[in-house]
Chains A and B, each alone.
Chain A
């Protein structure tokens, strides 16, 4: 080969920056219903192409088509729609509460509601999620009280975490929702350990690990895949690819080729890619992976292709790094509207009923908010005691902490 001259350093860049016209023409979207549904005991080597396609159920006309359709009845779909709408309304209210100074921080799910809401319905009681900070749909879909979520966000006197945690870092063992940590990716390998423990104990429960596209670059993503692969742990390894990690586009975590799902293939882990804005597809794929895990067939990696329509957090302004209208151009659309259209198409829903449901949900969320604010907000009303700061670090308080608590005058 001829002398190639000077080396040049490569830094991936998104196609478009602020001021540009959103362009997703490079995102290949397969037709709904076009990806086959293999048996759960399929030889992973024979379905490698599924890591490069996208499983979709809902087509443009709002019909559910193909082999992944038909798992949910109308009642279940209406419940799913309600969960997503509730999460969206909850987000909007809490976003506003942050702007009003009632809490220090909030993170929305806008555009990603289907992923966690639909996934939850594929699990059984006793299964355990190891979520990131953007899967509150798991709680909403499991009936976790909204007031309790708000109490945590407000760090008030009724906060189940006693004001120790940043807003949205919920914890509920009872609802299969592992304590959220600020340190990214740590929970991914912990989920695998939980699943290993279930297998060691000859239990039938499974774990679900959650991570975003950006955090797949963390070493614990690799740790989790190695351990899940080695011990065939009953875990679903979820990657929510919402295209953005704060300001960095997904190419910074992944480079210009392949998919996040494809990362599972090198570990011998079957990997599926699914339309994250398609409630039915998310549920169907989650169910497939859950059945595999429960049948002792081992882990599955699932990449949810979606788009982070909102800001990263209340501390972020996306217009500084991406076009303002980019979410409108996102080819997989809006999960709420797509499910709504599907139900209308089936005759199980209407525009009027939707408008009415929106109003009802808003009323419910506002009522919950009122109740939560009765327990206080971050800077006003009831708050956790200073004593709570010293409690609960160890099961039994060691002498040095007792001394410090006394020094603090509590």
Chain B
């Protein structure tokens, strides 16, 4: 099977979707002729024409707002916000409009849009190129939130998101665009061509939203992770020698609670990890759900490893990013608790 980077897999998903359904429209800042600042839409305008893939003014609210109108018309826009850090001007449109349109009109109008946005840190992106705002979406009823961690999933989940009848926030960890990253910034990065999850089947396939994947079977502790932190957790398990079961959530909402509960009931311990800031982060929801559903099976408090409650700094990148050492410590402490 061919191996692709996550960028190539996303482009492939867009290509496949645009080829299968002429209602799929792709636009955003620098998305058209240039093919996107991360090259995710390269070649699509040449292949499908300027009516299907085009450049947008620098106006996030305009990009999402116009996409909602297009969806109400009957198209399926898949738009890009250049960085998740810049979605805030569109937050009104996403939370008050896209998320609510089906509900408030009782299905008279629907909003099958996908909003792609590069997310996450570990790239010296500083305050406005590193944020992980997923909790600001999972808190909004009516949205679905997806975070892939590898090229295979990125393609299958993006196709599923585009085919989904409801609005989907598709957060792409840009640190994973060219290869997996386990937080060891001092080591050379391996490309996706060296990783089995870089295998991306040609043509159409989809991965259902709302289904987690177990990346590593284990019996000692369950690790709930998504995006870049999946690889950090894997590195931490290897380095501490702890037999952790690592669950890649893939979709945060709707959440695959069954897989989580089955794993924690088996291991009796749980560590939640994410890059986003700790307080009121998505980890709080995960910890609460584990506590509610697995209380009598828990042998230790649910631990959370997250970004600090500060804006994402520049110089202190590796003091901020929750790397394998911090995750490893949490694993050890959870086992000793």
Chain A residues with CB below 8 A from B144, complex form:
394
| Distance in angstroms between the alpha carbons of A385 and B66 in the assembled complex | 34
Contact A227 B75 (CB under 8 A): no
The answer, yes or no, to whether B166 is at the interface (CB within 8 Å) is yes
Contact A393 B142 (CB under 8 A): yes
Contacting B at CB under 8 A, from A174-198, are 178-179, 181-183, 186, 188-198
Contact A223 B106 (CB under 8 A): no
| Distance in angstroms between the alpha carbons of A391 and B230 in the assembled complex | 34
Contact B109 A173 (CB under 8 A): yes
Contacting A at CB under 8 A, from B96-115, are 96-97, 100-110
Chain B residues with CB below 8 A from A8, complex form:
none
Of B62, B68, B210, which is within 8 A of A226 by CB? B62
Contacting A at CB under 8 A, from B66-124, are 66-70, 72-75, 77, 89, 92-93, 96-97, 100-110
| Distance in angstroms between the alpha carbons of A160 and B109 in the assembled complex | 13
Q: Take A181-B97, A227-B59, A398-B210 as given contacts and tell me if A171 and B104 are in contact as well, using a CB distance cutoff of 8 Å.
A: yes
Chain A residues with CB below 8 A from B56, complex form:
227
The answer, yes or no, to whether B141 is at the interface (CB within 8 Å) is yes
Contact A392 B254 (CB under 8 A): no
Contact B69 A196 (CB under 8 A): yes
Q: Which residue of B lies closest to A225 (CB)?
A: B62
Report the minimal beta-carbon distance from A190 to chain B, rounded to whole angstroms: 4
| Distance in angstroms between the alpha carbons of A224 and B66 in the assembled complex | 8
The answer, yes or no, to whether A201 is at the interface (CB within 8 Å) is yes
Of A128, A178, A219, A399, which is within 8 A of B89 by CB? A219
Q: Take A171-B109, A193-B66, A194-B73 as given contacts and tell me if A223 and B59 are in contact as well, using a CB distance cutoff of 8 Å.
A: yes
Contact A197 B105 (CB under 8 A): no
Contact B61 A223 (CB under 8 A): yes
| Distance in angstroms between the alpha carbons of A190 and B90 in the assembled complex | 12
Q: How many residues of A contact B (CB 8 A)?
A: 47
Chain B residues with CB below 8 A from A399, complex form:
210, 254-255, 257
B43-75 to A contact mask, C-beta < 8 Å, 1/0: 000000001100011010110011111101111
Contact A392 B61 (CB under 8 A): no
Q: Which residue of A lies closest to B165 (CB)?
A: A395
A151-171 to B contact mask, C-beta < 8 Å, 1/0: 000000000111011000101
Contact A179 B61 (CB under 8 A): no
A-to-B contact residues, CB < 8 Å: 128, 130, 160-162, 164-165, 169, 171-173, 178-179, 181-183, 186, 188-201, 207, 219-220, 222-224, 226-227, 230, 392-395, 398-400
A-B contact pairs, 26 of them (CB 8 A): A130-B69, A164-B106, A178-B72, A179-B105, A182-B96, A186-B96, A189-B65, A189-B66, A190-B66, A190-B68, A190-B69, A190-B97, A191-B69, A192-B69, A193-B65, A193-B69, A193-B70, A193-B77, A200-B52, A207-B69, A219-B89, A220-B65, A395-B110, A395-B165, A399-B255, A400-B255
B-to-A contact residues, CB < 8 Å: 25, 51-52, 56-57, 59, 61-62, 65-70, 72-75, 77, 89, 92-93, 96-97, 100-110, 141-142, 144, 165-166, 210, 253-255, 257
